[in-house]
């Protein structure tokens, strides 16, 4: 994570106004790799389904396709951009098929929910640091270790199968009992 140094251009375009409104969040840029993880986390929280991402260009723009569930971001998007695109998905889910315009009351409500969630998670700053540390690679198990694992697995299978035998034995005796009951009634 690094801070974007470019000054905010407060022209009339929508993105600039949104970046101004959520200034702090617009200054945090997320690497392409971490963006997917953060999008996954937001999507899971707001039950938006899984979105696939692509990255192209550096212009700070993005496009979302809510039907095919993918988003094209420019490289290293800001939190405002991530929330903006997911706001389209959230509005679609929340208000069904109605077209929600940028900046209307409904849009702002959902945008605030998204930003609030990111804030509550502290923009995953701690996690992002952990993600960038390469995981220690586990040494390959030796042949003997593999054998031990297989033995353990076979043993737990036996326990499972034995439980099943008991269950079916109970079922068999229950079925036999009901046969004998029914046959007794038949003879009368
Ligand atoms: Zn938009």
Tens digit of each residue's pLDDT (9 = 90 or more) over 8-41: 444 456 778 888 899 998 899 999 999 999 999 9
Within a 10 A sphere around the Cβ of 23, how many other Cβ atoms?
Answer: 11
Distance separating alpha carbons of residues 52 and 85, to the nearest angstrom:
12
Distance separating alpha carbons of residues 188 and 180, to the nearest angstrom:
13
Q: Which of 129, 117, 128 is nearest to 22 (CA)?
A: 117
- Residue 157 CA to ligand 1 centre (angstroms): 53
pTM (2 decimals)? 0.66
pLDDT at res. 51: 97
Tokens read off for 73: 């971001």
- Residue 69 CA to ligand 1 centre (angstroms): 15
Q: b/e per residue, 152-173, with b = 16+ CB within 10 A? A: eeeeeeeeeeeeeeeeeeeeee
- Residue 136 CA to ligand 1 centre (angstroms): 40
- Residue 2 CA to ligand 1 centre (angstroms): 24
Q: Which residues of the chain have pLDDT under 50?
A: 5-11
- Residue 11 CA to ligand 1 centre (angstroms): 17
Distance separating alpha carbons of residues 29 and 4, to the nearest angstrom:
6
């Amino acid at each position: 994570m690094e801070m974007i140094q470019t000054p905010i251009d407060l022209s009339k375009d929508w993105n600039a106004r949104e970046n101004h409104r959520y200034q702090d969040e617009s200054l945090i840029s997320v690497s392409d790799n971490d963006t997917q993880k953060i999008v996954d986390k937001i999507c899971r929280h707001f039950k938006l389904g899984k979105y696939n991402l692509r990255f192209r260009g550096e212009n700070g723009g993005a496009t979302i396709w809510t039907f095919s569930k993918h988003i094209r971001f420019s490289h290293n998007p800001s939190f405002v951009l991530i929330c903006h695109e997911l706001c389209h998905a959230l509005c679609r889910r929340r208000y069904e098929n109605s077209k929600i315009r940028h900046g209307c009351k409904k849009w702002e409500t959902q945008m605030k929910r998204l930003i609030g969630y990111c804030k509550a998670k502290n923009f995953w700053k701690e996690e992002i640091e952990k993600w960038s540390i390469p995981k220690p690679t586990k040494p390959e198990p030796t042949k003997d270790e593999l054998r031990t694992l297989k033995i353990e697995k076979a043993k737990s299978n036996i326990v499972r199968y034995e439980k099943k035998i008991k269950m079916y034995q109970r079922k068999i005796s229950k079925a036999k009992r009901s046969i004998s009951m029914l046959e007794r009634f038949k003879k009368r």
